[in-house]
Amino acid sequence: MAMEGVIPAEQQVFDPVSQARNYMHTDENQKDSAEQLARETASQLEEKNITLIAVIESIGEYMRDEDNTIRSKSLGYLAGILEHLPSKTLSRQQVDVICTFLVQRIEDGGAVEGLLALQSSFRFSGDMAITTTRAILENLQDIQTKPQRQRHSIIRLVHDLLGNHRNAIKTMGTVFLVGVIDLFGGEKDPRNLMLVFSVVYVVAMEWDLENHVESLFDSIFCYYPITFRPPPNDPYRITAQDLKLRLRQCIAASSRFGEYAFPQLLEKLDSGSPNIKRDVFDTLMACIETYGARVLAEHSNNLWESLKYEVFHAQEEDLADEALKIVQANAARLCTELATDDNGISFVKQYLDMISKECLEKLREPQHKQAKYASMILAALAVSDHRALDEITKAIFPSLLSLYQGAETIESRRSFLECFLIILGAAVDVFRAQPRSRTDHIPLEKFKDTLLQRFSQALMGTAPEEMSYRILALSCLAKLSNIPSILSDEEVGLAVQYFNEIVLTEDADGRPDLVSKAIDTLLELSESRSQILLNITVPRLLAGLPDAGSTDTKRYQRGISILARLSTKHNLSDTVIRRLFGRLDAALINTATPQYCEALLAALAYAIKSQLPMQAHVGENYVQKATDLIKRSGEVAKAGVSDPLTNMGVLRALGRLVCLIIQTASDSTRANFNNEVYTLFTNEFIITDDKYSTVIKQQTIILSTYFLAAINDKPGSPLRYAADHRPILEDLVAITIASKEPGIQFAFLQHITLLVNKFADQSGLLVAWNICKNIGLADSRNATNPDAVKVLMFLAKAQILRMSNTKALLDHLLGLLEMEDCGALVATGFEILLSQDEVLTKQNGAKIRLLSGQVVFTHTLAHITKAFTGAAPGVRPRYLIALGGILKHIDRQLVLSHMKELNPLLLQSLIVPETALKGAVISVLAIAISENPLSVEEHLSSIIAQLLQIAMNKATNEALLRLQAVRCLSMIPGKFKEFVLIPHTKTVDRDVVKVLDDPRRDVRKAAVDCRTAWLALDEPDEDD
Amino acid sequence: MESIQNANPTIRAASDLPTRRRKASFSTAASDPLGIFTQAIPSPSYNFDPFSSSSTSPISSDSDSEEGTEPIDTQEIYDLISTISDPEHPLSLGSLAVVNLPDIYIRPLGAQDLQVVTVEITPTITHCSLATLIGLGIRVRLERCLPPRFRVDVRVKEGTHSTAEQVTKQLGDKERVAAAMENQQLMGVLKKMLETCQ
């Protein structure tokens, strides 16, 4: 040793002999210290402090002992050392020596473990692997007499040797094959079987099986099906699924297993157990995926014979589906290799002909359940490949068509149509997955004329009451039209004309299915045949629209709706939008009815919005159109003439459209609009010229509001008045309070809100705050004026949403509730604070802080909880109404987290006469009951009693409220423990019976459901 | 059921059955083919005004415009019973055409707006032994769902069953019906039949 002098004392005294002795003296319970000793020796070896010879000599005495257990233990020491040695430490010669040494003693315990550690060593050679394997196969055939642990080591050794030295072991050929079959026979332990299956899998894949196929197959198939159930707390965590998967892999490993696997697997299907059937199906699927087509062809007959029974007599739907998938997969596999039999007929054709023939037989009784399965089988086969589709088309369409023609009742025809539909659906899939050129020979072509004719006849020539039949015919026609490259454009055009007629003229009231199916078909066709839609459908729909509107709103509404739906399709969109703008121009020139103009405007907005995901700046295309319309509206306002554009509804619809177009236009276009907010593109300033002298001029505020919603608030925005908000705000407030027309007043209120919320700077906010404080509610004239209160609430809303002065404003408003004159009005107005507004949205650039709702709610609730009991009797309902107004508009989770404080207030609210308040409270209760029943459980008796009162009292509660109350009641069963509810069942039943006689149908229906839900509580559960 | 009595009954498609339900949900259904207006036009919010009592606030919207009375009619009875399940098929009595709209009658009975509902059932086959059970199911359903001023009369339609008279008599016999309701096993079957009611 080279390192004299510096070696630490401890290492100097390392003595292999005493180390070995120490090891030998450990007993069964000292496994850890034994392992520690082996590890120490290994590291000494690794650092070359001792030699291998010294180690071997140290245990020589024990290895020669007569006592088997001592010999085994000494070998275990050696194995432990080998295990802890890095794989490159030993030289080839050393490995060889140890290998020979261990192989000679292979029957002694510990030798196998030693070999297991040794074979992973870097220098373990192929020859050594063969020697070892041979020794195992020759000497350890009594493996089944050994305990599980030892069996595991042996099997593991075979498994690892095969993994690490595959090529060497392959040279052993049949010896190995036969040897392992014998060695593994009778193994039952799941952990060992996992390894056994892996070994057999490799052998089946890579060995030449010669005439041992059957014995190898039997050696694993005897475990099929796996019914293993893992013991609790199994440390190895092997599941039945693991075993099943690995065994399945084995069975599917070699085509040569086919002749044994198919008959035996199919035989297992006779078992009634669905689980075994599922396993068999999965295994068959695995075999079909790996076996060759020729093997499959040999067994296809038997496969079909067994599987058809599973489909036609399925006990469970999913089992039938599984069986179908196998029939289909087999066809698909047969298609991949176009092998033929001796007569030159392809296996696919034989297989498909056999099945088609049988299915056709079933289809002769079209209304029998089995007919449906027959169609499903045919479709499953057809969808597997285009060759399969062609064979099936040829085999069944002639008979199917003549059967259909000969069918006497609509019911049988319907069943045939169902069959056509399923198969044509498969055809669509196949043609889309495997596009085909027109020059291909396509059997379906031969039948297309007849099919087109039959389907058209069924659709258009059947009595309108035969709804389901006609829907089927339409679906068939749709599928046929959707198969790429089968029908010509003219033929599809013909079908489209039928769809047009149905879409436009079919009675859709109560029976929307046919119409909606037709619309869907048109939409689908627009993807592949947009030109036909543009040439036929769009003109037809436009032609149906009146010039001047008409009183028959239904007629044009339908046309416009369908055009709007079509416009969502990218390749129709621009054309449809431009045509609709054209119709709008015509309508305006002809002074059409406002409703008609409104419908057109709404459809345009819908169409443009639908294009946004594809085209962010879609609005830019229509800026000119929008500008023209705005100009026109400004001109008519100035001239004061009667025109559709002076109608408020039309103006609102136009406002929405313009807002959308501006927002989706380019930035420069948007900037342009900033200047025109109050001029509407005329040269005069409309808004303040003559202070809105006429209603028509006042109406321009509607469009201006939408402008304001649409434009940006950028620093240096050229918006007029931006510098100083005081004059315009004060002006607007004055006009709003004076305004008599609700629609116009609302637009003014929205305008003020937008201005303050979106554009006001600090000084502007101060102006708003001052107006709120001084709106003069102390002055009795304004105090009872709802218009003034509205202005106050909208101004407050504008500030609160951006969290400016929130708490001060709320305190101000809550204080007003106690005032004699205005308290009631302010309470009602609380609803305005958080209600949704069409223009004040984030999308329009409004400043809406996330927490604003929460602050309003918690602040108000805290104030009311504190003030309620001390408040004058007249003030209490105002508190409840104010709270109710807020509850309607906040997040339900927020409500649920405050149920404790809310409960007493809610119960009080159910007694006040205000309908709106009660409605809001019932909604809150309904949410609490369904999402957090515990929060109201304490008050359940009162809640039930109050709800019943509302439901029964027709005189004071309107129908919708009664409906809400009954629905809320029916939510209760199932949400609470039974013993909580049982005391109420009698009362509820007694009272709900009275509601069964409610004059309104909806309420009665709700009462029926409610009673059923509560009665179910009383019934004993006899479920097994 | 040990053996299925009629393994292959005629089935009517759901879209061919008369109902008011579909119509009611039509205007609000998302799949409404003509419904773009509800999506394209936001609710007429310029009418939103908590101060006017007749406002269309989100709570008291639609369907409550006129407080008209809608008397219980045959369609309503049909909707109550057509979704009861057949005891031997996973199908509704409506789709099996066991109950049919034209076979339901409502007529007044003397004073105090007493009414009699008569439902005539058509068994799927003329010797169906389950006719009594089906009739009992309909009876139970209607007695639970109609106000007490309605008398329920369930009978087998003439000429559709070999022992029609007998079955009808059994269904009309109050004591026998009451006795049947005490039978736990029978009530279990009935519960299954009524579970699918909509």
Q: Which of A471, A828, A838 sits opposite B45 (nearest CB)?
A: A838
Model pLDDT, residue A463:
82
Model pLDDT, residue B66:
44
Which amino acid, residue A766? L
Q: Which residue of A has its CA nearest to B22?
A: A510
Q: Are B187 and B131 in contact (CB under 8 A)?
A: no
What mean pLDDT do residues A861-884 have? Answer: 89
Q: What is the pLDDT of residues A591-617, one digit of tens each?
A: 888 889 988 999 999 999 999 888 888
Distance from CA of B167 to the nearest CA of A (A): 27
Contact B148 A993 (CB under 8 A): yes
A989 vs A1023, residue with greater confidence = A989
Model pLDDT, residue A317:
77
Sequence-distant (6+) residues with CB within 8 A of B191 are A1019, A1022
Model pLDDT, residue A254:
87
Contact A414 B13 (CB under 8 A): yes
Q: What is the pLDDT of residues A964-1003, one digit of tens each?
A: 999 999 999 988 988 899 999 999 999 999 999 999 999 9
Res A1 pLDDT > 70: no
* Residue appearing with tokens 């879409």: A503
Number of other residues whose CB lies within 10 A of the CB of residue A373: 20
Contact B60 A920 (CB under 8 A): no
| d(C-alpha A359, C-alpha A507), whole Å | 38
Q: What is the pLDDT of residues A365-377, one digit of tens each?
A: 877 778 888 888 8
Mean pLDDT check: name the lowest of A186-190, A384-388, B31-35. B31-35
B186 near A CB under 8 A? no
Q: What is the pLDDT of residues A793-830, one digit of tens each?
A: 999 999 999 999 899 999 999 998 988 888 888 998 99
What mean pLDDT do residues A724-747 have? Answer: 84
Res A861 pLDDT > 90: yes
Q: What are the structure tokens assigned to A793, written together?
A: 């609430």
Model pLDDT, residue A1021:
55
What mean pLDDT do residues A27-47 have? Answer: 82
Contact B46 A743 (CB under 8 A): yes
Q: What is the pLDDT of residues A230-271, one digit of tens each?
A: 888 878 888 888 889 999 988 988 888 888 988 888 888 887
Chain B residues within an 8 Å CB radius of A648: 46
Q: What is the pLDDT of residues B130-187, one digit of tens each?
A: 888 899 999 999 999 999 999 999 988 888 777 888 888 888 888 888 888 888 888 8
Res A5 pLDDT > 50: no
Q: What is the pLDDT of residues A305-360, one digit of tens each?
A: 888 888 888 777 788 888 888 888 888 888 777 666 666 677 888 888 888 888 88
Model pLDDT, residue A739:
84
Model pLDDT, residue A10:
52
Q: Which domain holds residue A767?
A: 731-890
Model pLDDT, residue B53:
47
Q: What is the pLDDT of residues A458-487, one digit of tens each?
A: 888 888 878 889 999 999 999 999 888 788
Mean pLDDT check: name the lowest of A476-480, A546-550, A612-616, A685-689. A685-689
* Residue appearing with tokens 């045919």: A378
Model pLDDT, residue A971:
92
Q: What is the pLDDT of residues A487-525, one digit of tens each?
A: 888 999 999 999 999 888 887 665 678 888 898 999 999
| DSSP letter, residue A922 | H
Q: How many domains, in total, are found in chain A?
A: 1
Chain A residues within an 8 Å CB radius of B187: 1019
Alpha carbon A654 to chain centroid distance? 37
Res A11 pLDDT > 90: no
Distance from CA of A142 to the nearest CA of B (A): 55
Average pLDDT, chain A: 85
Contact A1008 B50 (CB under 8 A): no
Q: Which of B13, B36, B191 sits opposite A468 (nearest CB)?
A: B13
Q: Are A602 and B35 in contact (CB under 8 A)?
A: no
Res B47 pLDDT > 50: no
Model pLDDT, residue B52:
62
With a CB-CB cutoff of 8 Å, which residues 101-130 of chain B face chain A? none
| ipTM, two decimals | 0.85
B39 near A CB under 8 A? yes
Contact A885 B50 (CB under 8 A): yes
Contact B76 A1001 (CB under 8 A): yes
Contact B49 A368 (CB under 8 A): no
Question: Sorting pLDDT into bands at 50, 70 and 90, what band is A720?
Answer: low
Model pLDDT, residue B49:
64
What mean pLDDT do residues A739-748 have? Answer: 87
Chain B residues within an 8 Å CB radius of A797: none
* Residues of chain A above pLDDT 70, percent: 93
B184 near A CB under 8 A? yes
Res A1007 pLDDT > 80: yes
The residues that bridge with B107 in the sheet, in sequence order, are: B116
Res A872 pLDDT > 60: yes
Q: What is the pLDDT of residues B54-101, one digit of tens each?
A: 433 333 333 444 457 888 999 999 999 999 998 887 888 988 889 999
| d(C-alpha A823, C-alpha A520), whole Å | 54
Report CA Rg, chain B.
Answer: 21
Q: What is the pLDDT of residues A44-90, one digit of tens each?
A: 888 888 888 888 888 888 887 888 888 888 888 888 888 888 878 78
Mean pLDDT check: name the lowest of A551-555, A744-748, A797-801, A941-945. A551-555
Interface A–B counts its CB contacts (< 8 A) at 157
Contact A508 B33 (CB under 8 A): yes
Distance from CA of B138 to the nearest CA of A (A): 14
Q: Are A140 and A182 in contact (CB under 8 A)?
A: no
Q: Where are the domains of chain B?
A: 69-195
Contact B34 A557 (CB under 8 A): yes
HSE value, Cβ hemisphere, 13 Å, CA-based, for A217: 21
Strand B104-108 relative to strand B115-121, pairing = antiparallel
For B108, the enclosing helix (H) or strand (E) is: strand B104-108
Q: Which residue of A has its CA nearest to B185?
A: A1022
B175 vs A857, residue with greater confidence = A857
Distance from CA of A406 to the nearest CA of B (A): 19
Which site among A468, A830, A1008, A1018 would you substitute to test the B interface, given the most B Cβ atoms closer than 10 Å to its Cβ?
Answer: A1008
Distance from CA of A689 to the nearest CA of B (A): 26
Nearest CA-CA partner of A72 in A181, A167, A150? A150
Q: Is A972 helix (H, G, I), strand (E, B) or coil?
A: coil
* Residues of chain A above pLDDT 90, percent: 22
Contact B40 A652 (CB under 8 A): no
Q: Which of B32, B59, B63 sits opposite A920 (nearest CB)?
A: B59
Question: Sorting pLDDT into bands at 50, 70 and 90, what band is B23?
Answer: very low
* Helix extents (H) in A759-822: 762-774, 780-783, 786-801, 806-816
Chain B residues within an 8 Å CB radius of A835: 48
Chain B residues within an 8 Å CB radius of A598: 41
Q: Does residue A765 belong to any structural domain of this protein?
A: yes
What mean pLDDT do residues A416-441 have? Answer: 83
Mean pLDDT check: name the lowest of A53-67, A355-369, A688-702, A735-749. A688-702
Sequence-distant (6+) residues with CB within 8 A of A362 are A312, A368, A370, A371, A373, A374
Helix A258-268 vs helix A293-312: crossing angle, to nearest 10: 10
Q: What is the pLDDT of residues A699-711, one digit of tens each?
A: 888 888 998 888 8
Model pLDDT, residue A780:
58
Question: Sorting pLDDT into bands at 50, 70 and 90, what band is A848?
Answer: very high
Q: Does residue A758 belong to any structural domain of this protein?
A: yes
Which superfamily is assigned to B69-195 in CATH? Fe-S cluster assembly (FSCA) (3.30.300.130)
| d(C-alpha A664, C-alpha A145), whole Å | 83
What mean pLDDT do residues B21-48 have? Answer: 43
Angstrom distances, CA of residue A272 to CA of A303, A306, A322, B174: 18, 14, 16, 45
Model pLDDT, residue B43:
40
| d(C-alpha A429, C-alpha A491), whole Å | 20
Model pLDDT, residue A514:
86
